Amino acid sequence: MPAGAAGSARVVEGEMHIGRFDAAVAEAHGYEIRTSPDGTQYSVRKGAPADAVPMNEVDGTCGRSWVWEDGIGNASVVLRTGFHVRRDVVARSWRVQLNDDGGTSTQQFSGGSSGPYWEEIRVVPGLTRGTGYAVVRSNGSNFAILTDGAVCFSGGPSAKTTIY
């Protein structure tokens, strides 16, 4: 936080979880989707032995997501959001909902392929002074599709700051 800022920034990070698999993406990147006897799907490299299962990936998380919102004066905030997942990304859909005393707006961050780490920082001007709240919703609209076909959804991180 810059010197002289209001000092009220709060950040929450959240886990990302596998919501489903995209078999076509997995196939295109050398993976196949298998189903365990209990019905849980998982992804392995093509040609892996029949008993191969990923370590801690069937029921585990696939990464972390975050959002930071920091009031910088002039009715503006610096918004920083991103994720770190377990494999390279072929596509993503990412939106941060901003709430201030004047209403709600959305910042869109969708894009194509990247490595397993993605982050974007932008200045958002023209907000209403007072309390600011940013959230990456966990409603299924924020996700990354990994090269193994896993579709990883954000766990809903949020941040709060003072807009001045």
Question: Which residues, other chains included, contact 150 with Cβ-Cβ below 8 Å and sequence gap of 6+?
Answer: 18, 21, 22, 43, 62, 86, 87
**Residue 60: its pLDDT value, please?**
37
Q: Are 98 and 127 in contact (CB under 8 A)?
A: yes
**Residue 61: its pLDDT value, please?**
61
Beta partners for 15?
64
pLDDT tens digit at each of 164 positions of the chain: 343 444 455 556 667 778 888 889 988 988 888 887 777 777 777 776 666 554 433 333 688 888 888 889 999 999 989 988 888 999 999 999 999 999 999 999 877 778 999 999 999 999 999 999 999 988 888 999 999 899 999 888 888 888 99
- The DSSP string of the chain is --TTS----EE--EEEEEEEE-HHHHHHTTEEEEE-TTS-EEEEETT--TT---TT-SSSEEEEEEEEEEEEETTEEEEEEEEEESS-EEEEE-EEEEEETTEEEEEE--B--B-SEEEEEEEE-SPPSEEEEEE---SSSSEEEETTSEEEEP---EEEEEE-
